[in-house]
Amino acid sequence: MSTYAIGDLHGCYAEFMALLEKLNFNPNQDTLWLVGDVINRGPGSLECLREAQALGGAVRCVLGNHDFHLLVVARGGGKQKRHDTLSEILTAPDREPMLDWLQSQPLAVQQGNILMTHAGLLPQWRVEQAVAYSREVEQALASEQSGRFLTELFGNQPDRWREDLEGMDRLRFIVNALARMRFIDAQGQLDFAAKEGLESAPPGFAPWFQYPRDDNPHLLFGHWAALEGKTPDAKVRVEALDTGCVWGGTLTALDLDTGERISVPSQQQGER
């Protein structure tokens, strides 16, 4: 009975299947944690989403920014982008059950001292707060107003947390912090322009994991392929799991029981 956390799939279905085979993954005994961005950019987005849904209770998944993008396109009036690989999902006969499953996933999964989110954990938030804020978004996604929520979701403001934020401003910040964050300043302001490696940090900003915390959670995140699975000068216990499979890197699993990393090589020829 093992638990494995796997980095961003991004539609890399062949690699996903190869990794599960290498892990000898048994859905009747083992558990799979997916760190978000199950779909988009790779050639097997439909197959990845179907497989994740089909694994049922063996999977715990959090929403990534590309997962939200699919929901916005499908149910919030959004438009596909140039490099999207979502069309097969959007035209699939089983699209609605798959979208329903995706829309029911949280932004944060906690087990004991371990917290998995797509992008990370704001230093100003405790683990319990992140889980509670995730539930606020889950409620919005499950409500009769979910279409309106998805229509108004995307945007970069507000870019700093305040407990008195309300409505869409509050929900948008929660989504941005848990699904889009990379660089922040000492007050927790989010930067959305820099998306490459650590050298791309704007003046006064640093990776969220380089700020100290009062607690010591074990944090799992994806989202940031340019890190290549490394978190230099981290001030927290943290695991970067996006090792850039869709860009020609690897697909990586972390055995949560032993700490071992297991990877398979990419079959993609992706360019950023």
Q: Say how far apart CA 163 and CA 180 lie, in whole Å.
A: 19
Q: What pLDDT score was predicted for residue 272?
A: 44
Q: Say how far apart CA 78 and CA 227 lie, in whole Å.
A: 29
Confidence of residue 270 (pLDDT cuts 50, 70, 90): low
**Position 249 pLDDT exceeds 70:** yes
Nearest one of 200, 199, 201, 239 to 223, comparing CA atoms: 239
Give residue 241's identity as a one-letter amino acid code.
Answer: L
Q: Is-contact 263 243, C-beta < 8 A?
A: yes
User: Quick one: tokens of 98?
Assistant: 């798959």
Q: How confident is the model over 63-98, as pLDDT tens digits?
A: 999 999 999 999 999 999 999 999 999 999 999 999
Instruction: Fold for 3-265, please state it.
Output: Purple Acid Phosphatase; chain A, domain 2 (3.60.21)
Secondary structure (H, E, C), 91-156? CCCCHHHHHHHHHCCCCEEEECCEEEECCCCCCCCCHHHHHHHHHHHHHHHHCCCHHHHHHHHCCC
Rg of the chain, C-alpha, whole Å: 17
